[in-house]
């Protein structure tokens, strides 16, 4: 375990197992349809890749980037679109994929942004859900795990661009 990590919340095996379950649910819900997955950069990459590999639907994917926390563990309260989707998503069934939903501001901003592109159906999927921290009333349609109010790293999640490479999700020692 990394010396900056206090505790492992989910091992690589637990994460992969839960993503298989999410994939089965998404395959069933979108059977006979084409799906566009739109991932929110940067932390979503491992989750998006592993989720894609569980899907047996005609699927395409794209990425969107929103302003992040930078060097902080608390949200600044405003979110901007830094990189837009390149695919034409008008009229398409879109699943917005995020690594972790905390205050909900990022997901909310991304939803509003994609709606302005006149998507068909629009649902959301997050690996981690910090439900108690919400400032926007929003719950992802699909999510892997609910976690308490702790700052976590690994499996794509960073603190100041560090720890993304860890194969597990762990609690950072800076948490009180
Ligand atoms: P929200 O806008 O407050 O919901 O924050 C969502 C974004 O903040 C996520 O996509 C992550 O990039 C980042 N974030 C929130 N909580 C954590 C955490 O515990 N570890 C790492 N990044 C986090």
Which is the closest atom of ligand 1 to the Cα of 135? 3
Q: Is 68 in the pocket of ligand 1 (CB under 6 A)?
A: yes
Nearest to 157 by CA among 148, 149, 145, 165: 165
Q: Is the pTM of this model over 0.85?
A: yes
State the Cα–Cα distance between residues 18 and 46, nearest whole angstrom.
14
Q: Is 69 in the pocket of ligand 1 (CB under 6 A)?
A: yes
What's the pLDDT tens digit per position in 62-101?
999 988 655 555 555 677 888 999 999 999 999 999 999 9
User: Cα 114 from chain centroid?
Assistant: 15
User: Cα 33 from chain centroid?
Assistant: 22
Q: Is 103 in the pocket of ligand 1 (CB under 6 A)?
A: yes
What's the pLDDT tens digit per position in 12-63?
999 999 999 999 999 999 999 999 999 999 899 999 999 999 999 999 999 9
Which is the closest atom of ligand 1 to the Cα of 104? 4
């Amino acid at each position: 375990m990394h010396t900056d990590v206090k505790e492992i919340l989910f091992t690589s095996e637990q994460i992969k197992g839960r993503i298989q379950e999410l994939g089965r649910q998404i395959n069933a819900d979108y059977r006979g349809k084409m799906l566009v997955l739109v991932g929110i950069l940067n932390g979503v990459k491992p989750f998006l890749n592993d989720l894609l590999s569980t899907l047996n639907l005609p699927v395409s994917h794209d990425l969107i980037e929103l302003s992040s926390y930078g060097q902080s563990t608390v949200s600044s309260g405003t979110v901007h679109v830094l990189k837009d989707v390149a695919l034409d998503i008008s009229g398409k069934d879109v699943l917005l994929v995020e690594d972790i939903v905390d205050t909900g501001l990022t997901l909310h901003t991304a939803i509003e942004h994609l709606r302005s592109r006149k998507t068909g159906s629009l649902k959301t999927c997050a690996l981690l859900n910090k439900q108690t921290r919400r400032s926007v009333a929003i719950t992802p349609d699909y999510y892997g795990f609910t976690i308490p109010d702790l700052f976590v790293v690994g499996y794509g999640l960073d603190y100041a661009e560090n720890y993304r490479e860890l194969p597990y999700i762990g609690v950072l020692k800076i948490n009180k």
